[in-house]
Amino acid sequence: MLSLPQLKQLFNSLATEESGELGVRTLSSTGMEGARKMIQKYLDDFVNMDLGRAEAYLETSVAGQVSDTAMGMRLVEGTPAIERAQEQILDRLQLLMAMRGRAAYVRGRALNMTNTWNRLKMTKDFTDINELEYAKGVEVSVK
């Protein structure tokens, strides 16, 4: 991971002088693509790694609890503790199923967003969209 001064130095080397009305120094096409990829990577690292790792730990822990409780049920067969153990197993299975459903939804949504982005990039008007968004950003920063 690059430090902030290293990032600034990298992108300053990729900047080109713009000859528009504002004379604003902007990124070259290579710089724009590099910035897009870095943003995508950093967002992916920030959002997915911590959440995914936490969910995996929780899922493994809960699955272990289900297994341990089921083993304990076998050892105390014929006692009133069986009913409570069954309730605990069902509660944990419900949690695991909800986690699996949420993970499937998030992955499906991410795939849908990726496909939408890829379709947008394939349109011939994509450069116009970038220029429009950049112009809006410059307009906001000037005000």
Contact, 86 vs 73, CB < 8 A?
yes
- pLDDT over 60 (residue 94): yes
pLDDT above 70 (res 139): no
CA dist., res. 102 & res. 20, Å (int): 48
Please say whether the beta carbons of 99 and 66 come within 8 A: no
Span 119-132, pLDDT tens digits: 776 665 555 555 65
Q: Is 117 helix (H, G, I), strand (E, B) or coil?
A: helix
> What average pLDDT does the segment 67-84 reach?
87
| Amino acid identity, position 120 | L
Q: Is the pLDDT of residue 40 over 60?
A: yes
In Å, how far are 57, 71, 73, 91, 101 from 88, measured between CA atoms? 19, 13, 11, 5, 20
Give residue 142's pLDDT. 54
SS3 state at 142? helix
Bridge partners of residue 141, in order along the sequence: none
Average pLDDT for residues 69-90, to the nearest whole number?
88
